[in-house]
Amino acid sequence: MSEMSNIERLKELTTKLNNAILEYETVFDSEVFLICETNKVGKFTRISKAWTNVLGWSIEEMYEHPFTYFIHPDDVEQTMKLYTDLVNHRTSVKNFVNRYKTKNDGYVSLIWASPGFNKGESLIATAIVCPFDINIA
């Protein structure tokens, strides 16, 4: 390959990388979709703006606490069992339901999906607000 083709290829790859980063940033700018990224110790490392609309907590407040702080006490054990399986690459998540605390001391039922931990150290998951009352036992 000539030096010029190497430079052109590098420019092309740089453009693709920049576009991918922009798409990733755009996803987390969402005020509609509940998207989060957590680390293996259970702290949010990134959340979409929609979380503040649904729960009322600021993004900074959500980063201050482990995610278990926001989970209904009756749902913590089941959530952590699933999270442990995700951390250990034993499962993915589809249609898992738990309740998250709102800033005004209410709870919202969320339905979760996640492919599990990526090859790095983070987990990306999405959630939607359950549109009907659900009895979690």
Q: Does domain 33-129 have CATH number 1.10.3720.10?
A: no
**pLDDT per residue of the chain (137 residues) written in tens, 0 to 9:** 566 687 787 778 777 776 666 666 666 666 678 999 998 889 999 899 899 999 999 999 999 999 999 999 999 999 999 998 888 877 888 999 999 999 999 999 999 999 877 666 788 899 999 887 665 55
Q: For the chain, what are the domain ranges?
A: 1-30, 33-129
Per the CB < 8 A criterion, the answer to whether 79 and 98 are in contact is: yes
